[in-house]
Amino acid sequence: MNENMNTSTIRGPLDHEIRDQIISAATEHFSHYGYEKTTVSDLAKAIGFSKAYIYKFFESKQAIGAVICTNRLAMIMEIVDAAIAGAPTASEKLRCLFRSISEAGSDLFFHDRKLYDIAAVASRDQWPSAVAHQVRIRAIIQQILLDGRASGEFERKTPLDEATKAIFLIILPYVNPAQLQYNLDTAPEAAVHLPALILRSLAP
């Protein structure tokens, strides 16, 4: 599935506006009634557009879901990036990463709006936005390690790839919304204990 396929019919600013309107209404609708249970007909009825009109802008329900998922993940990344940018040291950046990723994920997929099932489908079916999100998280971890190694906060013996992968595996259950649903209760304490253990492993 290619999330860019649905852009083929964009022609100008007006089309763009209508697409945004559909996405916004679909986000509302899915967050109330769920993504899996809703059809494009339901959605068309709720928005007050014809089904054919919606298909002019999005080739499928999945194409709409993909844009919503991409938007949510972009919001999560904004929150994470801002949290990390404000941290003075590599150690603190690592703590911020754990705290912000699970808080933002909990809020944006579970509490704020119930868009969990889009996220679950996205991660089950490996939608490009979900894959790209994980690649970005892994890159952030590697950059924090490089910063900490340069400043002398972290040891330099362990191969960088190995340390990056291990930390990524530890954070993954809080990044992937399909897994996060099982960890919502423990996420706040995990955001304290996991970076603390990792930082002990990184001590020079």
Q: Which residues are at the interface with a copy of itself (CB under 8 A)?
A: 123, 158, 162-163, 165-167, 169-170, 172-173, 176, 178-179, 182-183, 186, 189-190, 193-194, 196-198, 200-202
The answer to whether 149 touches 93, Cβ cutoff 8 Å, is no
Report in angstroms how near the CB of residue 108 gets to a copy of itself at its nearest: 19
Measured CA to CA, the distance from residue 150 to residue 147 in angstroms comes to: 5
Nearest distance from residue 199's CB to a copy of itself, in Å?
8
Specify the DSSP class assigned to residue 10.
-
Cβ nearer to a copy of itself, comparing 60 with 179: 179
CB of 20 to a copy of itself, least distance (A): 32
Smallest gap from residue 154 Cβ to a copy of itself (A)? 11
Alpha helix segments (H runs only) across the chain = 13-33, 40-47, 51-57, 61-85, 90-105, 116-124, 128-151, 160-175, 177-183, 187-202
Nearer to a copy of itself, 143 or 179 (CB): 179
Q: Measured from the CB atom, is 108 or 198 closer to a copy of itself?
A: 198
Q: Considering beta carbons, is residue 50 or 201 the nearer one to a copy of itself?
A: 201
Cα–Cα dist 27/20, whole Å: 10
Spatial distance between the Cα atoms of 78 and 142, rounded to a whole number of angstroms = 18
